[in-house]
Amino acid sequence: FKPSTRSFSIDTSLNMALSQDELKKMVGYKSVDDYVKSGMVVGLGTGSTAYYAVERLGQLLKDGTLEDIVAIPTSIRTKEQAEELGIPLVTLDTHSKLDVAIDGADEVDPDLNLVKGGGGALFREKIVEVCADKFIVIVDESKLCDGLGPGFPLPVEIVPFCHEHTLRTVAALPSLAGCKPVLRMGSSTNNQNDGDEIAVTDNGNYIVDLHFEEPIKDAVKAGEELKNTVGVVEHGLFCGMTTAVIIAGADGISVKE
């Protein structure tokens, strides 16, 4: 790497298959190189792809390529990573408008609508990312889909009070007909379901993952119905928010706007 010149490269000339981690690093670094300028307020996403964007931002601040940046993290995990890298942090309480937010996604459809929340950070991601002038999504090509739903369960954050009732109510919404709701279990909010405890989000809530066999017909309507359900805090459908998606695949990097 040559961080001071903003150039980085992962050599694809030998046509060697890159690991998924290398693909994530490529898009994470490119998002910061292409969309972050000195003086900006930057939203920092959550997950294994966003991790590399945060890492790159830390590098470019450290070597002086970028200056006068403040950032807003979308989870406790990201906050801790940013603090370790010395990235100055603020909150929405002092900065309601962001220049750019960068984050990963679990699914991206042809209209650039997303499913997010596999890492359990969907509420903080959405409240931050709707405030950004530009929302840049970074994915490897495995996240692209023709229709949201069947490829990745849709996470919905719900309050713990009477959560079984809320879970049944959500599953019965007309636009979500046929989904199977599963309360997320585990030691973290990642959807590993690796424990006997109910997973608890950074906000003290639970997550229900909605499993679909068919694509969600109308994601906007599904989002509206979820938002209108008492007990639902937020859902992982991010519709009409994306400015650009940076995609890493076997043939290199492409950008969809």
- 245 contacts ligand 5RP (rule: CB under 6 A): no
Region from 4-12, 34-42, 46-54, 162-170 binding ligand 5RP, contact rule CB under 6 A: 46-54
| Residue number with CB closer to ligand 5RP (45 or 186) | 45
Can residue 116 be called a binding residue for ligand 5RP (CB under 6 A)?
yes
What is residue 86's DSSP assignment?
T
- Site of tokens 């292409």: 34
The amino acid sitting at 222 is: A
Name the pairing type of β-strands 154-158 and 232-235. antiparallel
Q: How far apart are CA 200 and CA 203, in angstroms?
A: 8
Check if the beta carbon of residue 42 is closer than 8 Å to that of residue 102: yes
46 binds ligand 5RP (CB under 6 A): yes
108 C-beta neighbours (distance < 10 Å), count: 24
Q: For ligand 5RP, which is the closer residue by CB, 104 or 181?
A: 104
Residue 119 binds ligand 5RP (CB under 6 A): yes
Task: Give the pairing of strands 132-140 and 98-103.
Answer: parallel
Segment interacting with ligand 5RP, rule: CB under 6 A, options 100-108, 199-207, 222-230, 246-254:
100-108
Greatest extent of the chain over all pairs of C-alpha atoms, in Å = 56
Window 123 to 162, contacts with ligand 5RP (CB under 6 A): 125
With binding defined as CB under 6 A, does residue 45 bind ligand 5RP? yes
Applying CB under 6 A, does 101 fall inside the site for ligand 5RP? Answer: no
Does the footprint of ligand 5RP cover residue 43 (CB under 6 A)? Answer: no
Q: Smallest distance from the beta carbon of 60 to ligand 5RP, in angstroms?
A: 20
Smallest distance, Å, CB 256 to ligand 5RP? 17
141 is catalytic: no
Q: Which of 107, 125, 129, 234 is catalytic?
A: 125
255: left (phi over 0), alpha (psi -120 to 50) or beta: beta
Number of residues interacting with ligand 5RP: please give it, by CB under 6 A: 18
User: In whole angstroms, what is the distance from residue 58 CA to residue 99 CA?
Assistant: 17
Token pair 């939203």 is at which residue? 43
Task: Check residue 104 for interaction with ligand 5RP (CB under 6 A).
Answer: yes
Q: Which of 109, 108, 105 shows the shortest CA–CA distance to 117?
A: 105
Cβ atoms within 10 A of the Cβ of 37, count?
12
186 binds ligand 5RP (CB under 6 A): no
Task: Give the interface with ligand 5RP as residue ranges (CB under 6 A).
Answer: 45-50, 103-106, 116-122, 125
Catalytic residues: 125
